[in-house]
Homo-oligomer: A and B are copies of this chain.
Amino acid sequence: MKMIIAIVQSKDSNRLRKAFANNHIQMTQLSTTGGFLREGNATFLIGIEDERVQDVLDIIKKNAKSREQYVTSQMHMDVEGGSAFPVNVQIGGATVFVMPVEQFHKF
């Protein structure tokens, strides 16, 4: 048994929750208040059998990994008028800790 703590972007949390449910992975989502560097994050607590740790990591990676996305930015300049062009931004990203568990009980 391991305890996995996963911190992901808020925008990926719904998708990740659904993926966990579809794969029968039980988790608890912690309410977090923004740290200075953690604004807009979601934290998941997942207790999982050793042999399923890699499955959980794969699901987190698939649904919350850092990736680039083109968004259309509108820039208004003082001189010549505005222009709209696509900008490549980084979204998502997950920080994951796998921790040992010494005893696991179901009462």
Q: Name A's B-contacting residues (CB within 8 A).
A: 1-3, 5, 7, 17-18, 20-21, 26-38, 41, 43-45, 47, 53, 57, 60-61, 64-66, 93-107
Complex contacts, A38 vs chain B, CB 8 Å: 26-29
Chain copies in the assembly? 3
A28 to chain B, nearest CB (A): 5
Q: Once the chains bind, are B35 and A33 in contact (CB under 8 Å)? A: no
Partner of A105, one of B21, B34, B45, B96: B96
Q: Once the chains bind, are A101 and B97 in contact (CB under 8 Å)? A: yes
Q: Once the chains bind, are B107 and A94 in contact (CB under 8 Å)? A: yes
A38 to chain B, nearest CB (A): 5
A87 to chain B, nearest CB (A): 23
Complex contacts, A64 vs chain B, CB 8 Å: 107
Q: Once the chains bind, are B26 and A37 in contact (CB under 8 Å)? A: yes
Given A101-B99, A102-B100: A93 and B65 within 8 A (CB)? no
